Amino acid sequence: MVLPFIHEPFTDFKDETNQKEFEAALKKVKSELGKDYPLVINGEKIYTDDKLVSVNPSNKNQVVGSVSKATTQHVDQAMKAANEALKTWRTWTPEERAEVLYRAAAIVRRRKHEFSAWLVYDAGKPWDQADGDTAEGIDFMEYYAREMVELGKGKEINDRVGENNTYFYQPMGPGVTIPPWNFAFAIVCGTTVAPIVAGNPVLLKPSENTPVIAYKLVEALEEAGLPKGVLSFVPGDPKEIGDYLVDHPQTHFVNFTGSRATGVRIMERAAKVQEGQNFLKRVVAEMGGKDTIIVDNDADLDLAADSIVNSAFGFSGQKCSACSRAIIHKDVYDEVLEKSIELTKALTVGNTSEDNVYMGPVVNQKQLEKIRDYIEVGKDEGVLAYGGETDDSEGYFVHPTIFKDLDPKARIMQEEIFGPVVGFTKAENFDELLDIANNTEYGLTGAVISNNRSHLNRARYEFHVGNLYFNRGCTAAIVGYQPFGGFKMSGTDSKAGGPDYLQHFLEAKTVTEKF
């Protein structure tokens, strides 16, 4: 019997035994650094001369692994294999497909610390963040498997006298998954296994920043019994194969998560019907955020500061959900700012592959330089209240940074920075708090810290974000509990980890029989 879904528990790193076990996993992974990883097409491992080289963001001289790069010819081979695999994979029952995911989840759960340790090296994640990332990947497999079994039953519709009507779901055909690097296991896993359990073969092109942990997912699914050709692993330079994957006439869907710029490009390209294409492509595009926590005058100010600091600086602000704007009622502005600075002073920053620190590095040199530039912009636009330092001598470190007294229209209050930088702005009253919260082109996450019930009720309908939280931070959605996805230029609101998600990769069919 399949047990009901509950989310994977997180590891308590205050427990010494857990710490020791995690250190052992880091040591094991360290002994495996520097290996070569292949493409996987139709079950065949293919090594190419041209490689993506992943380095540890905490220590840029340490090579995590070298991953073969796919060419457009490899994409054609993978698409051919996917079309062939579709013929049988679509005939597996939803239960049989779900079982592959249950087995893969069990494989990853048994080796949870090892997967998290790969995330520490490949993405620079702090231990608790890596642990959360692995747990979320397990959750996606467990949750989507159960959802597919439910959807496999179809839906009740009405019959009339002399007429029987049925309504059920079927796979669409092969498609492409293009994930980001920041949830290098969870999002890669969720966006890959959802279309697969729905019966569609997938070509997975991981981020060039984190291809090694993505390969570990492919291995786990293979070990769990996923038939060859159902998942092809085609890492590569997005400039060489990105458009090709999206434009391919056999690509039925693109399951994308990443920046606004890439998402919009994919949306536009996928809309064009290519020669030989006799269907419309579907695009799921989950994109960036400029996420806000608003603090009312009647609020728990310690909770406010804690929510702002942890949402802004957890994983160095490299979450689409990260709080990068704190909009505070003028009566409590100084106090919340002061408390936030005090909490920030206590945060530790360092090499996550050596120590259990709060914050590690940002992902690469380009990102460090982008954040450094925004810190300079912030100094012109507002007042640097705390932090501002960067250090790229060994790894890509940016210290937690707070700006105060910003104009709500300032660039650092409008543009996604994707780093540990948060801007504070003052508002006169609750109307203005909401107006400022809604004044960006994004609409992903937000939070309201308030004890005023009528204000919370207004925010429920007037704060335009896909994931809204009351009296807590604005990050850390859990699969099955907080389906995730944004409004406006944050994307297509696909609600990953929610009950509607699999329908993006299914065709609904109605059959009517007259008696």
Ligand X SMILES: N[C@@H](CCC=O)C(=O)O
Ligand Y SMILES: NC(=O)c1ccc[n+]([C@@H]2O[C@H](COP(=O)([O-])OP(=O)(O)OC[C@H]3O[C@@H](n4cnc5c(N)ncnc54)[C@H](O)[C@@H]3O)[C@@H](O)[C@H]2O)c1
**Contact between 477 and ligand X per CB under 6 A:** yes
**Contact between 245 and ligand X per CB under 6 A:** no
Among ligand X, ligand Y, none, the one that 262 touches (CB under a kind-dependent 5 to 8 A) is: ligand Y
Stretch that binds ligand Y, among 61-69, 73-81, 146-154, 176-184 (CB under 6 A): 176-184
**Contact between 259 and ligand Y per CB under 6 A:** yes
Whether 507 is catalytic: no
Among ligand X, ligand Y, none, the one that 143 touches (CB under a kind-dependent 5 to 8 A) is: none
| CA 343 from centroid of its chain's CA atoms | 27
Query: Which residue from 182, 250, 324, 492 is in contact with ligand Y, where contact means CB under 6 A?
Result: 182
**Contact between 433 and ligand Y per CB under 6 A:** no
**Contact between 265 and ligand Y per CB under 6 A:** yes
Lay out the site mask for ligand Y across 215-244 (x = CB under 6 A, - = otherwise).
-----------------------x---xx-
Among ligand X, ligand Y, none, the one that 229 touches (CB under a kind-dependent 5 to 8 A) is: none
Q: How far is the CB of 85 from ligand X (least distance, A)?
A: 30
**260 vs 254, 286, 371, 405, CA distance in Å?**
15, 8, 17, 27
Report residue 287 as tokens: 């994109």
Query: Which residue from 212, 320, 375, 459 is in contact with ligand X, where contact means CB under 6 A?
Result: 320
**Contact between 136 and ligand Y per CB under 6 A:** no
Question: At 178, which helix (H) or strand (E)?
Answer: strand 175-178
**Contact between 416 and ligand Y per CB under 6 A:** yes
Instruction: Measure the CA angle with vertex 365, ends 364 and 366; round to 5°.
Output: 95
For the chain, state the CA radius of gyration. 23
**Residue 206 and residue 187: Cα distance in Å, rounded?**
10
Nearest to 171 by CA among 198, 194, 150: 198
Nearest to 48 by CA among 59, 39, 56: 39
What is the DSSP annotation of 397-428? EE--EEEES--TTSHHHHS---SSEEEEEEES
Instruction: Measure the CA angle with vertex 460, ends 457 and 462; round to 5°.
Output: 105
**Residue 278 and residue 263: Cα distance in Å, rounded?**
23
| CA 69 from centroid of its chain's CA atoms | 23
Instruction: Characterize 62-72 residue by residue with b for buried, 16 or more Cβ atoms within 10 angstroms of its Cβ, and e for exposed.
Output: bbbbbbbbbbe
Q: Measured from the CB atom, is 229 or 263 closer to ligand Y?
A: 263
Among ligand Y, ligand X, none, the one that 475 touches (CB under a kind-dependent 5 to 8 A) is: ligand X
Lay out the site mask for ligand X across 154-193 (x = CB under 6 A, - = otherwise).
----------------------------xx----------
**Contact between 321 and ligand X per CB under 6 A:** yes
Query: Which residue from 120, 270, 287, 437 is in contact with ligand Y, where contact means CB under 6 A?
Result: 287
Burial of 210 (0-12, 13-18, 19+ CB in 10 A): buried
Task: Return the axis-axis angle of helices 112-123 and 211-223, rounded to nearest 10°.
Answer: 160
Burial of 203 (0-12, 13-18, 19+ CB in 10 A): buried
Whether 320 is catalytic: yes
Q: Which of residues 436-495 bind ligand Y (CB under 6 A)?
A: 444, 484, 486, 490-491
**Contact between 317 and ligand Y per CB under 6 A:** no
Q: Which of 99, 142, 222, 320 is catalytic?
A: 320
Q: Measured from the CB atom, is 201 or 473 closer to ligand X?
A: 473
Residues in contact with ligand X by CB under 6 A are 182-183, 319-321, 475-477, 484
Residues designated catalytic: 286, 320
Residues in contact with ligand Y by CB under 6 A are 178-183, 187, 205, 207-208, 238, 242-243, 246, 257-259, 262, 265-266, 286-289, 320, 416, 418, 444, 484, 486, 490-491
